[in-house]
Amino acid sequence: MSFSKSRWLHLVLLFSLLSPYSAADSGGGYHVKLAQVSEVPRIDGFLNDSIWDEAVLLDAFTQYEPKEGGDPTEKTEAYVAYDSTNLYIGIRCFDSDPDAIRAFLTERDKVMNDDGITIFLDTFNDKKRAFAFEVNPCGVQSDGIYNEAARHRPGMGFDRIDKNWDTFFLAEASIDELGYTVEISIPFKSLRFPNAASQIWGFQIMRKIRRKNEEIYWSPRSRNVDGLLIQAGQIQFDGELEKGRNLEVMPVATGLKVKGEKFRPEIGLNIKYGLTSDLTADLTVNPDFSQIESDMPQVDINKRYDLYFPEKRPFFLEGSDFFDTPIELVYTRTIINPDWGVKMTGKMGKTTMGFLSVFDTNPTPISLPDVDEPAEDADIGSGFINIFRIKQDLFKESHIGFILTDKETGDSWGNITRDYNRVVGVDGHFKFNDYDRFSFQVVGTQSRVDEIKTDLVPAMSFNLTRNTRHLQLTAEYLHLPDDFEATSGYIQRKDIRQFRTRIGYTILPQKEWLVDIRPSIEYRKGWDFDGILTDHELRIGGFISGWRGTTLYGGFTTEMERYNGIDFKRTGFRGFLSSDPLSWLSGRIRFSFGNSIYYEDNPYLGYLTSIGLSLDLKPLTNFRLLYDFRVEDFYRSRGGEKVYNVTILSQRLNYQLSKTLSIRLITDYNDYYGELFNSLLLSWVLRPGTVFYLGYNDNQEKETGGLFRNEGRTVFFKFSYWWRT
């Protein structure tokens, strides 16, 4: 089965005739003119500065969870003002039971499951993207980028906030007999906004009361409209704002001492320059990629496709959403060991632009169907990677985009274009009415490896969704030929033409103990480019959410998967239960069982069981223990011989001495490989970019007799200082 180009063209034209008007465009009482003040408040968590008497008061909050449109069970008062350099927000969160407030002293960006306040600033007022600033009742900060239509990726929670982005802002909070208060100061230098004399920003305040499953907003939010920012209020600045034409310099010093080897120090430099208030240039030389953050262990046995690991390196994290497209053409973990990199990101009027250029001394190889893969330890030289991305706003929540990726590899700079992979494409996202969205991407790629050059190979993706108050519909089509190569991206599978549709329905009791019930049915069918059916799947499942953040999911799947020329029919069931019953305890149980393929030259259909348990314990307000336990067993048949067992135990202990100083211990054990990993880290984080880390890593391997043999011990440090004019 395939779709002709003319049918897709007719579909696009049909949607282009629909009106982009949205009835949810906020205004009226939720458009406020801010007061400009001359006094600078002391950010200490107490609302006792006279500035708050001059500030605009916002107190008309409305429930979204559990009862949409209802009155909040606890009162909230927000005060907003500004001067030429900062936006000031003070919030009084009343609570009838202050002892029940959920708040812990923890690392920055780790305030999950706490009560707290989140501020959304849509500085371009385009209803697409917003800066998000979150503060819990202990004054712990979290920040990120909210993107209305971005592809979900690791680091982005269900709230669609990508917390990989960090910036500088001040925040403090205090708990008292009335509840708690929060003070926030956000420098305009930390933001990007239009280079214009007058400013009107999208603005939203959200408060969460975890023990009650309660989520309230200043500007009312409704499920009748698909989108958060389209329902936000607006704030207006009549005075001059300090433009972000600023210079940031961050020198970085790292050191690594491996047992039996010499100490290896490294010096790097990061420079950021705000060309305008809405366009930023970044330069990195010898960037730091030391093991401060380690990947969570994953089961990598008997997997058909490569595992996905999230990006953790600061240079690539900031502005990463600028390069998002429906087909993931930019996956920066493919850049292994860069010597230097430059990046430019920003938005000028209705045009969003991103440019990334990196020189990699250990690039991943370019793959073609007719060319043998190089040996794992082969030296393929160096790589020069360039990525250009531009998007043009058409109307609210809609855009058209262009992307170009170019990877050149060679054994010397003079021969850097010996092999190459080049991808060019257009994409778009269109929002119609209050609940219809259509997105597409059409790309072409051309490669050369060892004098073998491909023709232009096309690929495409189309997606149509409707999200109403109760009904959710999705239909999508993916077209990826076998010789389509995007070596700078993450393409899990090729040689596939796939159609997928999903129908979901939401039942809304809207009670504290039962918020919603969401049954769904999903159907997927795929063919290779020889017209052979390769996949056929039907999945029936549903979510139930309610009391104290409890979510229950169960799903039954029946499918056919073709592998090595054999059609395997299988059925399976998976589910999970997660809950935050107590302020100091949250957990998750996940399980699955059913038929599974053993992927080898002579594959067969076996039986797989998997179970996982995660516990997040907080016995003290500044001490956190996270345990994750996973077991996967594969049998030749149900009840038959066990082929393999994988047991993984992970432990994360964090002791927060203060908001800036912490000690962390990681222990990971993989019984299948007999590997034990321990990591001890002392962290001092004054603010993003000004940090000191001192760590010790120990890798051990289990011998036949059960004893562990040391495989490597490493001591490392990192120091960086963030200086900004």
- How does DSSP assign 287-345, residue by residue? ----SSS-PPP---SS-SS--------HHHHTTGGGG--SS----GGG--SEEEEEEEE
pLDDT above 80: residue 307? no
pLDDT above 60: residue 17? no
Measured distance between the N- and C-terminal CA atoms of the chain, rounded to whole angstroms:
59
Tell me the average pLDDT across 323-333: 89
Extract the tokens encoding 708. Answer: 């562990």
Band of the pLDDT at 18, cuts 50, 70, 90?
A: very low
Q: Kind and range of the H or E element at 515?
A: strand 514-527
Tell me the average pLDDT across 176-199: 91
Question: Pairing mode, if any, of strands 214-217 and 496-505?
Answer: unpaired
Q: State whether residue 599 is helix, strand or coil.
A: coil
Q: Kind and range of the H or E element at 52?
A: helix 51-54
pLDDT given for residue 292 in this prediction:
57
pLDDT given for residue 378 in this prediction:
63
Q: Which residue has the higher pLDDT, 695 or 412?
A: 695
DSSP string of 109-178, one letter each residue: T--TTS-EEEEEEETT-SSSEEEEEEE-TT--EEEEEEETTPPP-TTB-TT-EETT-----EEEEEEETT
Nearest residue to 181 via CA among 42, 37, 39, 62 = 42
pTM of the complete model: 0.85
| Range from 219-223, 431-435, 690-694 carrying the lowest mean pLDDT | 431-435
Query: What does the CA dihedral 78, 82, 86, 88 come to, rounded to 10 degrees?
Result: -20
Query: How many Å apart are CA 67 and CA 212, to the nearest integer?
Result: 11
Band of the pLDDT at 244, cuts 50, 70, 90?
A: low
pLDDT above 50: residue 6? no
Which tens digit of pLDDT belongs to each residue from 613-625? 999 999 999 999 9
Report whether 378 contacts 362 (CB < 8 A): no
Which tens digit of pLDDT belongs to each residue from 249-278? 989 998 888 888 888 888 989 898 887 777
Q: Which residue has the higher pLDDT, 25 or 280?
A: 280
Query: How many Å apart are CA 612 and CA 608, to the nearest integer?
Result: 14
pLDDT above 50: residue 132? yes
Tell me the average pLDDT across 638-666: 93
Print burial letters for 337-376: b (CB count within 10 Å at least 16), e (below 16): ebeebbbbbbbeeeebbbbbebbbeebbbbbbeebeeeee
Q: State whether residue 212 is helix, strand or coil.
A: helix
Arithmetic mean of pLDDT over the chain: 87
Backbone phi, psi, residue 684, to 5°? -125, 115
Query: How many Å apart are CA 675 and CA 528, to the nearest integer?
Result: 39
Q: Identify whether 66 is preceded by a cis peptide bond (ω within 30 of 0).
A: yes
Which tens digit of pLDDT belongs to each residue from 455-496? 899 999 999 999 999 999 999 999 999 889 988 888 888 889
Instruction: Residue 169: count other Cβ atoms within 10 Å of its Cβ.
Output: 22
| Range from 401-405, 707-711, 718-722 carrying the lowest mean pLDDT | 707-711
Report whether 634 contacts 608 (CB < 8 A): yes
Per-residue CA distances from 323 to 287, 317, 609 (Å): 20, 11, 38
Domains delineated in the chain: 18-237 (2.60.40.1190)
pLDDT given for residue 725 in this prediction:
77
pLDDT above 60: residue 716? yes
pLDDT given for residue 348 in this prediction:
85
Give the helix ranges, DSSP H, for 488-584.
Answer: none
pLDDT above 60: residue 447? yes
Q: Which residue has the higher pLDDT, 559 or 294?
A: 559
pLDDT above 80: residue 303? no
pLDDT above 80: residue 205? yes
Nearest residue to 421 via CA among 349, 344, 367 = 367
pLDDT given for residue 195 in this prediction:
79
DSSP 516: E
Band of the pLDDT at 28, cuts 50, 70, 90?
A: low
CA 407 to chain centre: 25
Query: How many Å apart are CA 234 and CA 226, to the nearest integer?
Result: 18
| Range from 426-435, 578-587, 697-706, 716-725 carrying the lowest mean pLDDT | 697-706
Band of the pLDDT at 21, cuts 50, 70, 90?
A: very low
Q: State whether residue 12 is helix, strand or coil.
A: helix
Query: How many Å apart are CA 262 and CA 711, to the nearest integer?
Result: 17
pLDDT given for residue 603 in this prediction:
92
Q: Which residue has the higher pLDDT, 680 or 151?
A: 680
